[in-house]
Chains A and B, each alone.
Chain A
Amino acid sequence: AQKITQTQPGMFVQEKEAVTLDCTYDTSDPSYGLFWYKQPSSGEMIFLIYQGSYDQQNATEGRYSLNFQKARKSANLVISASQLGDSAMYFCAMRGRLSSGSARQLTFGSGTQLTVLP
């Protein structure tokens, strides 16, 4: 089974500062992928960044980076230079691959509501 835990229901950050959103996961799958999605108040889910369990380097996409610590089973999202438009709900998700080779479905965490203050 897969489980994603996001322990911060809400976070506040000052505009132009960096913020870290926590995500821990639990899986017994031999390989897996971790995703972050953003959901603004309008409702759509926007893909942000991906990290594979065997990737040697932490993923980065513009102002987004993923602090991946495999031994701790954590995949925290770091947003640098926060902007007002970053205010949204952020979801961590994972997909594992069984030893048989088949891939599981995405499992989502409960989300963190980020508010960027002017």
Chain B
Amino acid sequence: DSGVTQTPKHLITATGQRVTLRCSPRSGDLSVYWYQQSLDQGLQFLIQYYNGEERAKGNILERFSAQQFPDLHSELNLSSLELGDSALYFCASSVTPGGGLEETQYFGPGTRLLVL
């Protein structure tokens, strides 16, 4: 158990809908990262938050957005869903935003999204 929690574990929805994925980082971690894992794209970095502020953006679609709240939990919002958005979405956390190269990101169990 990494200490990172994600809800829900599974999500089935229809095209055009909007969903919210939730992540609670490990105790003491200030930085949250979101990743998408799909069969065709592999594991891709989406976005990073540190202590409530956006720190870095990766291959995140404009239909997707995220935020980190004062209690440090984070939410990833996916809107106007398409079939291709079906994937495993991971949240990871670390103490600081990559200040040290050796700093490990600890991953949550993921949310498996299926868009029908």
B-binding residues in A (CB < 8 A):
31-33, 35, 37, 42-47, 50, 52-53, 91, 95-97, 103-111
A102 → chain B, closest Cβ, in Å? Answer: 8
Q: A43-B109, A44-B108 given as contacts; is B101 within 8 A of A31 (CB)?
A: yes
- B110 touching A105 by the CB < 8 A rule? no
B positions within 8 Å CB-CB of A: 2, 33, 42-45, 48, 56, 58, 88, 90, 92, 97-99, 101-102, 104-110, 112
Q: Which chain A residue lies CB-closest to B88?
A: A43
Q: Is the CB of B45 within 8 A of A105?
A: yes
Given known A105-B45, A105-B48, A108-B42, contact A45–B101 (CB-CB < 8 A): no
Please tell me if the beta carbons of A103 and B43 are within 8 angstroms of each other in the complex: no
Contact B2 A46 (CB under 8 A): yes
Asked whether A33 and B101 contact (CB < 8 A) given A47-B106, A105-B45, the answer is yes
